[in-house]
Structure 1
Amino acid sequence: MNSELLNYYEAIEQASADMLSAARTGNWDEVVKLEGACVLLISQLKAAANESQLGTTEKQLKTRIMQRILLNDAEIRHLAEPWLEDLNQVMAGKSRMVH
C-alpha cells in the first residue's frame, strides 16, 4: 500500500473538515488560513503522485476521501454565500461612490 499518498489525501480531508468547522462559526480568517494549507498539501500530493501510484483498494479509499472533501467544500461554499453577497454589495456601493 502506498500510505504516503493516502496520508496526503487524509491531511487534505482533515484540513477541509477544519475549514468547515471554522466556516460554521463564521471564522473566515481561519478558513482562508486553512485553505492556504490545503493548497500546499495539494502541491505536495501532486509531486508525490508523480513518483508512485495507488493500488485498487487505495483508489477506493481515495474516492471516499475525495467525496467527503467535496461535501465539505459544498457546505463551506453554502455558508460563504451570504458573506460573499455582503462583500459584493459593499464593493458595488464603493464603485458607485467612485463614479
Structure 2
Amino acid sequence: MNAPTVDVLDFYRALQDVSERMLQAAEQDDWDRVVEMEEACAVLIEQLRAQGEAALSPEQRAEKHRIMLAILRHDARIRALAEPWLDVWGDVGLGSRSVLLH
C-alpha cells in the first residue's frame, strides 16, 4: 500500500488559517495567544520545508500566490498592532528588558 500523497497547498492553507487566528488574537490584544500561533506557524513552516519543492500547476501556483498575499496582509496588520509595544521595548533599551519584567 502506498503512503498518501501530501498536498503542499494544505500546508499553505494551514499557514493562512493560523496567521488569521494570530491576527484575531492581536486584534483582541491577546499577545500570549499571538506567540502560541507564531510557534504553530514555525512548526508548519518546518513541515513545509521538509516536503521540499513541489511542481505546481498554474492553478495551484495562483492559489499559493493568493494564500501568500493573505498571510502577508495578516502579518502587516499584526505588525501595525504590535508597533506601540515595539516602541515601548525600544524606549527601554536592549539591556534594560528586565526592568519591565520585574
TM-score, structure 1 normalization: 0.84
- Picking from 21, 24, 49, the partner of 1:21 is 24
CA distance in 1: counterparts of 2:96 and 2:41, whole angstroms: 32
Give the number of equivalent residue pairs.
Answer: 94
Matched, 1:82 2:57: no
Which position in structure 2 is the counterpart of 1:61? 63
Q: Specify which structure has the bigger relative contact order, considering alpha-carbon pairs within 8 angstroms and separated by 6 or more residues.
A: 1
Structure 1 pair 36/92, CA: closer, same or farther in 2 (3 Å)? closer
CA distance in 2: counterparts of 1:3 and 1:56, whole angstroms: 18
Report the aligned-residue RMSD: 2.2
From the two aligned structures, give the one with the greater helix fraction.
1
User: 1:35 Cα shift?
Assistant: 0.5
TM-score, structure 2 normalization: 0.82
CA distance in 2: counterparts of 1:15 and 1:41, whole angstroms: 9
CA distance in 2: counterparts of 1:84 and 1:94, whole angstroms: 14
User: 1:3 Cα shift?
Assistant: 6.2
Q: 1:5–1:49: 8 Å Cα contact kept in structure 2?
A: no
